[in-house]
Structure 1
Amino acid sequence: MSTPITPPAYELPEPAPQPAPNPHGRAGRDLAAAIGVGVGLGAVILVCLFVAKDAFAWIIAAAMVVGAWELARAMTTRGFAVPLVPVAAGAVGMILAAHERGPEALAIAFGLTATAVLLWRVIDPRPGSARDVAAGIFTALYPCFLGGFAALMLAPADGRDRIITFILVTVCSDIGGYAAGVLFGKHPMAPRISPKKSWEGFAGSVLTCAVAGAACLVLFFDQPWWAGVVLGAVVAACATIGDLMESVIKRNLGIKDMSNLLPGHGGLMDRLDSLIMTAPLCWAVLHYVVGS
């Protein structure tokens, strides 16, 4: 009697694991938290500008100190030890000097800050002091010195309108670029630096900045609309460069965000990157078009 042949049992292959869906969709971040934090920061800025305009210089100074702290903290991942005390003191000095005494005082304050960073490492020497000094001077320049141009815009009698124009046009670059990139982005601008940034997003930045710039120069300063379009276009380009520069810094440091200080945004420097790069340009254009 032959033994019945049992057909071999075949197991179905397990399905390949699927990547977990992004809870934030194509946005890549918590959009509700980002909008809430953005609206809150905007409200604080507007209240301060309309209640006590000159006190806004202290908010700029505080933002530069926090930005310097975030950058110095991030640099520790690569072994840099930024002399934070002279950098932070210099940040406050640069902002107040720019607001009270103008561009020459800003330049002098930056030079004094760089000297203080050098002396700090001479007094407290350690291995790698030369690169710590270089990192400290870089931190004093970016963001602190560049942020001083916002204080220069605040100083004139119409400083409130200049600051609103500066912030609004730059923020419109981020909003327009983000929306256009999410909806239409297909052609990467710099895939090795920032894979999500696209040429379609850049076009959205230019468009929204041009509209915002034209509206601000007509409503606030009674200037021709085309001057605002030019301002918006160059701000969009400069803000994009600032965003890419921040991406390069974070890639080199091996981090995603400068910190987790702002829910939905990352660190303060993750939001200041465009603003600090456009501040010198906005100051120069408004100084030339509107006057001092």
Structure 2
Amino acid sequence: MGTAERATPASGGNERNDDELSDGTIVAEKAAATGAARPQPPAEGIAEPTPAPTGAPAGAEPKRSRAGRNLPAALAVGLTLGVLCIAVLLFVPKVFIGVAGVAVGIATWEVAKRLREADVLVPRTPLIVGGQAVFWLGWPFGPGGVTGAFAATALVCMVWRLFDHGLHTAPRNFLRDTAITVFTLTWIPLLASFAVLLLLEEPDGNLRVLTFMILVVCSDVGGYVAGVLFGRHPMVPSISPKKSWEGFCGSLVFAIIGGLLTVTLLLEANSMIGVVLGIGLVVVATLGDLVESQIKRELGIKDMGTMLPGHGGIMDRLDSMLPSAFVSWLVLSTLI
């Protein structure tokens, strides 16, 4: 964007972008609208003071990470979700499809709601219902079912948006709204459907899904740790000012080690496949995070939702998982 970012230390390669509203353009526009002077950023490495509420004892605020999150809540939610997914994949793998399907539906609703708040009138009902068809039809019909459901849903959404104001009123911003609808359909249900294909196409499908989820977590953890400890050089400050190249390197190290171990021990395959998978997932997980960060920046929001304390919404947890599901299916189906 070419605007100045808030001068806070860079953080992990896969850490959530919690400075979505720190973009100088947004601040300047708000200042211009109110006639107020633009606030000056604090000196680098110095956190802004957060005054405690009147009468509240010091330390009453929940402990927050350098990303601005409620760290205890984020850890508790993350561990709970992780244990749940591991248990389901190991003991009742088919139930994972239902769990993931619910998450996809909620994430689609969150994004559609945020878009409509920004006056982007995506046809919410056919998008959510059709998105579920895209996701679920991979179970009985494989890639053909996913492709057919995707094409049918895209067509229904186009027609729905064309006539959603009646037969005698021309739709406003039809091209923009339908293009964003198809983008959302691709971004969430289509990419998520590759997790179903990965689960069902081979006898060890549950272990393949578990492998890619472990590697995404490795990427997140490695990026956060390396970014907090060593982050000095921002990756893309115009989109995500807290991401650093040091964090990205940390993600690579953790994901490659995780890939070597999981592919060798869980899948009993060539360890070099784990290296390829680890590198691929770090790249697409980081890009997936950046894509959502840019979307939230354009919408002027911090999170897509509020369902998960310390994380935001369901979509804020899936942004890096979705492209990783596709890359994992591609790599594992091709090389194993």
What is the identity, as a one-letter code, of the residue corresponding to 2:210?
A: I
Aligned to 1:58, which of 90, 93, 98? 98
Which residue, 55, 76, 84 being the options, matches 1:44?
84
Q: Which residue of 84, 90, 109 maps to 2:130?
A: 90
Structure-2 separation of matches of 1:128 and 1:118: 12
Verify the 8 A CA contact 1:118 1:133 in the aligned structure 2: yes
Distance 1:96 1:128 in 2: 31
Residue 266 (1) aligns with residue 295 (2): no
The answer to whether structure 1 residue 130 and structure 2 residue 175 are counterparts is yes
Give the superposition deviation at 1:236.
0.5
Q: CA RMSD, aligned part only?
A: 1.6
For the residue of structure 2 that corresponds to 1:88, the secondary structure is helix
Tell whether the 8 Å contact from 1:86 to 1:117 is kept in structure 2 after alignment.
yes
Q: How far did 1:223 drift? A: 1.3
Q: Match for 1:189 among 202, 227, 235?
A: 235
Shift of 1:277: 1.3
Aligned to 1:102, the other structure's residue is in SS state helix
Aligned residues: 273
The Cα shift of 1:54 comes to: 1.3
SS at match of 2:94: helix
SS of residue in 2 equivalent to 1:195: strand
Larger RCO (CA under 8 A, 6+ residues apart): 2
Whether 2:256 is the aligned partner of 1:227: answer: no
> Percent identical across equivalent pairs?
41
SS in 2 for 1:81: coil
2:258 aligned to which of 175, 190, 212:
212
CA distance in 2, matches of 1:69, 1:76: 10
- The offset of 1:229, in angstroms, is 1.2
Cα 1:36–1:105 change in 2 (3 A) is same
Q: Which one has the largest radius of gyration?
A: 1
Deviations 1:130-187 (A, max 9, x none): 3322222121111111111111111132111011001111111111101111111000
Alignment partner of 2:198 out of 148, 153, 159: 153
Q: Which residue of 2 aligns with 1:143?
A: 188
2:156 to 78, 94, 116: 116
Residue 119 of structure 2 is matched in structure 1 by 79
Deviates most, 43-52 or 53-62:
43-52
Alpha carbons 2:134, 2:193 under 8 Å: kept = yes
1:165 correspondence with 2:194: no
Tell me if the contact between 1:191 and 1:197 (Cα under 8 Å) persists in the aligned partners: yes
Structure 1 residues 175 and 128: CA distance shift in structure 2, 3 A: same
Which structure has more helix as a fraction of its residues?
1
Superposition TM-score, scaled by structure 2 size: 0.78
Distance 1:123 1:254, change over 3 A: same
Structure 1 unaligned residues grouped into runs of 5+:
1-17
* Residues 22-41 of structure 1, C-alpha deviations (whole Å, 9 max, x = no match): 95242421111111001111
